A and B are shown apart, each in its own frame.
Chain A
Amino acid sequence: MKLRGGHNIRLAGRPSSEIRDLPAPSRLLIPLRSRRFHMTEIRVDDGRKVAAGDVLASDPENFRIPLLAPRAGTVRLEALEGHVVIERLEPFDVEHFDGSPAGGMPSHVEAARSDPTAKRRALVELGAWQFFSDAHSGAVLDPSSVPSGVIVSTIHLEPFVARGDVQLHGRLDEFARGLEHLQNFLEYQPIRLVVPDLATPFAKEIREAVAGYAFVQLVAVPLRYPFDHASVLARHLGLPHDLEHPVWAIPTAGIFAVDRALTFGRPVTERVVSLGGPAVDEPVHVRIPVGYPIDDVLANHVCREPARVVSGGVFSGDAMGEDRKGLDTETAGLTVLAENRSRHLFGFARPGWSRRSYGRTFLSGIRPTFAESMNTALQGELRPCIACGQCVDVCPAGIMPNVIHKYLYADEIENTIDARVDLCFECGLCSYVCPSKIDLRQQFIDAKRAIQEELEAIAEAEAALEVEA
């Protein structure tokens, strides 16, 4: 993972390009909560038999986006806290499921072939809409929203999430078809397709695949973290944050989801997930249904215990708690890191041949890049900021994390707003390089939320005053 200025963080355990199918699970444990969704509206009864694609639950806060049954089986609601469990799974024919539609298509999908509104509805009902997000905030999009811009990205750089080139390999036809569908209900708005700025054979293939599409605008960006974050791309492209007309961001997997939903009318319940990190024996990509037990995924691939499983990449992913037992609908990668359990004699004063650092006090600086087996060690003690300025150097947003930290420490909210904490991409690089081990990223996320709530409260109070007047 390259950064501005050429520093390269290479985490060991990069998933290979192989996409592996795992053995059929004995039961599915489908989490009701994921990064953005909280499926509180249960829409099946305990003990009922469901078919693949049936609605299990939905999120009332997020446009009633449904949670679909990935397989046919019997529903258990009480078996596992926070999960819907599907047991006694019926035999499942992958070929059949992936192939062209067998039998009649649901009527709304038929209708969707012509009507853009119905297409959007079909995307929501078939589980493809959740791949779409607001490029700036990452929030779930209103299915009826009119975008001010659409960004489709094929680059996924953070270690580790499912790589774009791996997912696209051999499936460019489907990808192109998905783009066509997307364009169709956008009503002739250009789609900005983000590709690497390298002349690799694969980049060439993508370019050729979409060459005939006038509605696709290719955007070449450097393969440099965090250029895979939608918010970075949106700002790079000069698409401002607009609540009325959001910028849509869609990852590679989202375009396949669109294709699957609109070409075949099939529910999207499988994901290609990367399985990587220093604690993984055989880092690969796996194709698994939502709800696949995480323990089963890890059982075959992870060598070291105890390990931390992160949903997403190591820089912005969340550690999966003990209570998360199955794959949720939003995870694009599982990164497994050994927990730090060992102490080293005079660790701080070692020459540092085997540890790369953004700073230059480590001997490894004279070595060529090497894959590094990092664990969850904080690598030091929490200290007050020493104003070294490394966070300013790495920040891709051009803000001054150390200054914002100072303001937050003094509880100066006005100054924090003026210092533009809202521009933070939450890429995590400042926290990564901080020698004082300050959790800058988390502080800024919390501050942004607090400011947002404050502003909303003020707006509400003003509205209430107006009503009184």
Chain B
Amino acid sequence: MRLVANMLDRARPLFEEGGRFNLLKPVFDAGDALFLSPLARTSVAPHVRDPLDVKRVMTTVIIAVIPCILASVYFFGLRMLAMFVVSYAVGLSIEVLSAIVRKEEINEGFFVTGALFPLILPPALPLWMVGVGVAFGVIVGKEIFGGTGRNVFNPALVGRVFLALAYPRAMSGAFVEPGSGPLGRVTQYAVDAVATATPLAAAKGGDFAPIPNLLIGNVTGSAGEVSSIAILLGGIFLVAVGIASWRTVFSMLGSFAILSAVMHGGSLEIVGWHMLAGGLLFGAFFMATDPVTSPMTNAGKWAYGIIIGVSAALIRNLTGYVEGVMFSILLGNIFAPVLDEAFIAASLRRLREQKA
């Protein structure tokens, strides 16, 4: 503790005004804030504050995806770690650059995007594509709008949509067989890329993967979405600690289940299968619940979840696409400000009658 503090104190003058590395001040500040809690004091009442800060919120999300990260390494090999490294390296460089340009502090938001992005990609995707995707997602999905807190779309999904549209063949060809056995592919670096169909794609041909496999995760799919148990483990934790909104998760999964049941003639087995297959759970717990790109009003969150759940069910069952969650969440992101506008207007109407 003392050691770290001393090191930081010794380095600080180099980054201050007139110092040799003044340009890199946001980097220093981020490192400083990462190691040591801030010295900042309250300047106005209330004089004491709750200990929760944005860094802790983001850290909690990362803790919640750890089961998914471990599962992805188990099923798809150590190369996953390289994907995380690329995602963080490219994304953070852009974050740092924009912090320098904007003369703001580096925002914690990227740490979540950087961890989530590889998890929604096909596991055998070339590393350079990971870099290009995260760069597009962060620049177009976030920085153009003014950084974390002001973005309209979930940056990770923007990056993935870009890759899916720009390199459709590479994307669909990068789904590979998961490992199995006690060590899975933990001892392997890469999988020999033999493209296989994801459960949803196979299901179009009437070939349904067994539900236990969907639960455990030894199926083909995007790196983080395969193991439903890992997702539920982290996702329920995230909802329980109040970081992910239960309203969003519940309404999205609920509306999806109801509509699927209607379309499949009430077959619970198929509904259950669809709930576990593909990116639905991962999207519901980790992508749709991003507080910045979802509505801020509670009523808005219900409507937002329903929009996503309904359109995911429609896309999956009625269109040529096998997976609809990514587009559905982006659609929900588009609606989020509109929903807020409507529900805020409604609450303001109620407030208007209230006397001071």
Contact = CB atoms under 8 A, between A and B. Distances in A.
Interface of A: 11, 136, 235, 240-241, 308, 310, 314-319, 335, 337, 339-341, 343-349, 352, 355-362, 374-389, 392, 398-400, 402-403, 418-420, 422-423, 428-429, 431-437, 439, 441-442
Please tell me the size bucket of the interface on B.
35 or more
A377 B40 contact: yes
A375 to B, nearest CB: 7
Interface stretch (B47-55, B202-210, B253-261, B268-276): B47-55
B344 interface: yes
Interface string B32-67: 011111111111111111111111110110000000
B242 A346 contact: no
A402 B297 CA distance: 10
B45 A316 contact: yes
A376 B294 CA distance: 33
Given A340-B41, A348-B55, A378-B42, A420 B352 contact: yes
A343 B46 contact: no
A114 to B, nearest CB: 37
Nearest to A341: B39
Contacts of B34: 346
Interface string B342-356: 001001100110111
B148 interface: yes
A383 B53 CA distance: 9
A316 B48 CA distance: 11
- Most B-side CB within 10 Å, residue of A362, A384, A436, A439: A384
A358 B52 contact: yes
- Most B-side CB within 10 Å, residue of A308, A378, A418: A378
Contact of B52 (A308, A357, A428): A357
A375 B51 contact: no
B38 A378 contact: yes
Contacts of B39: 340-341, 343
B47 A376 contact: yes
Given A376-B47, A436-B53, 12 more contacts: A235-B355, A315-B47, A341-B39, A348-B37, A358-B52, A377-B49, A378-B49, A380-B51, A420-B348, A423-B356, A429-B46, A435-B56
Contacts of B297: 389, 392, 400
- Most A-side CB within 10 Å, residue of B48, B59, B108, B355: B48
Nearest to A394: B50
B269 to A, nearest CB: 35
B206 to A, nearest CB: 43
Contact of A347 (B36, B354, B356): B36
B180 interface: no
B1 interface: yes
Contacts of A362: 51-52
Nearest to A317: B45
Query: Closest 5 A-B residue pairs measured CB to CB?
Result: A380-B53, A347-B37, A384-B149, A343-B36, A428-B46
Contact of B33 (A308, A319, A381, A437): A381
A314 B46 contact: yes
A432 B149 contact: no
B107 interface: yes
21 contacts: A308-B47, A318-B45, A319-B47, A340-B40, A341-B39, A343-B36, A347-B36, A348-B53, A348-B56, A359-B241, A359-B242, A361-B241, A377-B37, A377-B42, A378-B42, A400-B297, A418-B352, A420-B354, A428-B46, A429-B46, A436-B53
B4 A345 contact: yes
Contacts of A344: 1, 36-37
A359 B40 contact: no
B38 A343 contact: yes
Nearest to B243: A361
B48 A337 contact: yes
B41 A383 contact: no
Contacts of A435: 50, 52-54, 56-57
A2 to B, nearest CB: 15
The majority secondary structure among interface residues of chain B is: loop
Contacts of B31: none
Nearest to B5: A343
Interface string B8-38: 0000000000000000000000000111111
Contact of A357 (B43, B51, B245, B354): B51
A428 B45 contact: yes
Contacts of B36: 343-345, 347
B53 A386 contact: no
A380 B54 contact: yes
A374 B245 CA distance: 29
A380 B40 CA distance: 8
Contacts of A358: 50, 52
A355 to B, nearest CB: 4
A241 to B, nearest CB: 4
Given A348-B59, A383-B107, A402-B296, A240 B41 contact: no
B126 interface: no
A173 to B, nearest CB: 36
Contact of B41 (A377, A419, A428, A442): A377
B291 A386 contact: yes
Contact of B54 (A319, A346, A386): A386
Nearest to B149: A384
B159 to A, nearest CB: 20
A136 B352 CA distance: 18
A437 B296 contact: no
B50 A379 contact: yes
B291 to A, nearest CB: 5
Contacts of B344: 400, 403, 419
Interface string B101-120: 00001011000000000000
Given A347-B37, A348-B59, A381 B53 contact: yes
Nearest to B38: A381
Contacts of A437: 40, 49, 53
B285 to A, nearest CB: 16
Contacts of B348: 418-420
